[in-house]
Amino acid sequence: MRRWEWGLSGRLVASYIVVTLAVVVLIEALVLGFQVPQLVNGAQLQAQVDATARSYAGQLSQRYRGGVPAGTVLGVPGQPADADAPYQSIAADLRAAVRCGALKAGDPLPTVKTLAARYGVSVATAHRAISELTAVGEAKASRGKRAVVARPSTSSAGVKV
């Protein structure tokens, strides 16, 4: 069997590839070498983590005055969520607004962004409150449109269905 021999052009291509890889590695090492001390300064990073933890603890103590309810991220796993979960209180407030006449059938509900800002919760929590109202027929929502207060449907006996 004959061995395949590298010609001059084959050796040049291999050398070019090796030199290119070496240059790329060196450039990345230089760039990252100058940035790493700026990104990871032990004392500064620890101070930022501590400040964030204090801020988060303060927010939790304001939101949950009696302690973090079970079922939340920091609560006891396996326990049911508190009856006064944020999405449930938002839904209850919207129901009360409908009952008192502040919102009538066909009126648009506040946007999830507005509810999230007003109640200090995430957009997902506000969306869950709207979804709860939609699931029981108290609101109508469709993708890309604002949710509106549902018109009460009545049967022939005049009972709300």
The pTM of the full predicted model, rounded to 2 decimals, is 0.45
Q: Is residue 96 part of a domain?
A: yes
Q: Is the pLDDT of residue 70 over 80?
A: no
Domain CATH for 128: 1.10.10.10
Among 23-32, 34-43, 86-95, the range scoring the smallest mean pLDDT is 34-43
Q: Quick one: which of 160, 88, 98 has its CA closest to 131? A: 88
Residue 3 lies in a domain: no
Instruction: Please give the residue range of the domain that contains residue 57.
Output: 8-61
| Domain-located, residue 17 | yes
Give residue for tokens 């032990």. 42
Per-residue pLDDT tens over the stretch 113-140: 999 988 889 999 999 999 999 999 999 9
Q: Are 85 and 69 in contact (CB under 8 A)?
A: yes
55 and 98 in one domain? no
| CA atoms of 135 and 141, how far apart (whole Å) | 10
For residues 142 and 104, membership in a common domain is answered with yes
What pLDDT does residue 48 have?
Answer: 76
Is 72 among the domain residues?
Answer: no
Please count the structural domains in the chain.
2
Question: Using one digit for the tens of pLDDT, what is the confidence trace for 73-120?
Answer: 554 444 444 557 888 889 988 988 888 888 888 899 999 999 998 888
String of b and e for 52-82 (b: at least 16 CB within 10 Å)?
Answer: eeeeeeeeeeeebeeeebeebeebeeeeeeb
